[in-house]
Amino acid sequence: MNKMIYLDHAATTQILPEVLEAMMPYQEEYFGNPSTIYEFGEKSREAIENARQMIARTIHAREEEIFFTSGGTESDNWALKEAANLYGRTHPGLHGHILTSPIEHHAIINTCEELKFMGCGITYLPVDNTGLILLGKVEECIQDNTCLMSVMFANNEIGTMEPVEELARISRKNQLIFHTDAVQAYGHVPIDVRKMGIDMLSASAHKFGGPKGVGFLYIKKEINLPSFIQGGAQESNRRAGTENVPGIVGMGKAAELAHRRMGEENRRVKRMRDRLVYRIIREIPGAKYMGNVKKRLSNNANFCFNGIVGESAAILLDTQGICVSSGSACSTGQTEVSHVLKAVGVPQELALGALRFTLGAENTMEEIDYTVDKLKVVVEDMRRKGTS
């Protein structure tokens, strides 16, 4: 097989042709600033509002509850930092307390550590060995000053989907704001913020066929979350800066396409994922399937292989034209394992052999079989040679 096989869609997705086509007029012809009062700029403003309307419909939100950002990381930072800020404004002289999980994306983990340095309390909710939050332990972690619970919708490494609706219910019962990082889930699973009780939600366009550098934060109208970036009146005075019009248009189009194709695409991708999992478990001894078997994203398969280092295996697969992600990274001469795998109790020697396969629109069953064939050779060779 001569072409590249891309199995790292959790990292980013290919921008869809229809998305590029929708963006081009706003790159070339309609380049006006949407904040201007003349008709030329108004075309950009209209395009932004059309995208806002489309995205709001996909999660059953109101248009005025969608705020455009530079991506999931900014959206996560805004949600956490300003929720803590809001608590400080309403409780002068006091610091808030945040509940989150130990398997969050670093956009949440690192933001929490920064808030902790600034005096905010942080508690990491316990998870089981598949990454699921232990619901029975959640209320034990709530304190008098707890102001926010932030738990991801689906994990970016092991694919486990959290009990978001139940967590939102607990938050509502205890008068907490509930935020979910839905970067991996949005565009891939149905989300109804009203039915699920979600107060804030982060998403990023490049995870569902849109462009990089644009995302959104849903903020329930009743939550008076302070602005994150000052300097202008954009986004209803909540997020200053000239809007990325082509990116927003592209995200709106990608959201429309993703939700229109969601059911069929999930079924197609799941069939390939299940074949990948079946063959790996059957044909590669010592392969441990990570995450929750049933409550997981349809495109995600994460394995730990004993006797290898995942980063080295990913490099060897790359020489065969196969792009996958490893669960470890080499930093200052030391190989560090994934914080997610640590949190779910995977021993370090096994976690070192992690590989993540995330499937997408362009993948075929033929590619899956080719990948497993090459993976078998790589794992066998590494184990035989004892190389990393």
DSSP conformation letters of 291-340: S-SSSB-TTEEEEEETTS-HHHHHHHHHTTTEE-EESEEEETTEEEE-HH
What is the three-class DSSP state of 100? strand
Residue 270: both structure tokens together: 């799941």
Contact 157, 151 (CB under 8 A): no
Helices 365-385 and 245-283 cross at an angle (nearest 10°) of 60
Whose CA is closest to 250, among 66, 12, 47, 30?
47
Collapsing DSSP to helix, strand or coil, 9 comes out as coil
| CA separation for the pair 218, 334 (Å, rounded) | 39
The span from the CA of 23 to the CA of 251, in Å, is 9
Q: CB within 8 A of 265, min separation 6: which ones?
A: 361
Is 137:124 a contact under the CB 8 Å cutoff? no
Is residue 103 within 8 Å of 302, Cβ to Cβ? no
Maximum alpha-carbon separation in the chain: 70
CA pair distance 149, 334, nearest whole angstrom: 33
Burial class (CB in 10 A: 0-12, 13-18, 19+), 20: middle
Of 120, 304, 323, 330, the active-site residue reads 330
Q: Which two tokens stand for residue 60?
A: 């059953």
Q: In the annotation, is 120 catalytic?
A: no
H/E stretch holding 358 reads strand 354-358
Nearest to 66 by CA among 51, 76, 80: 51
Phi, psi values for residue 194, rounded to 5°: -70, -50
Phi, psi of 58 (to 5 degrees): -65, -25
Look-up: residue for tokens 């935020």?
179
User: In whole angstroms, what is the distance from residue 181 CA to residue 13 CA?
Assistant: 18
* Residues assigned a catalytic role: 330
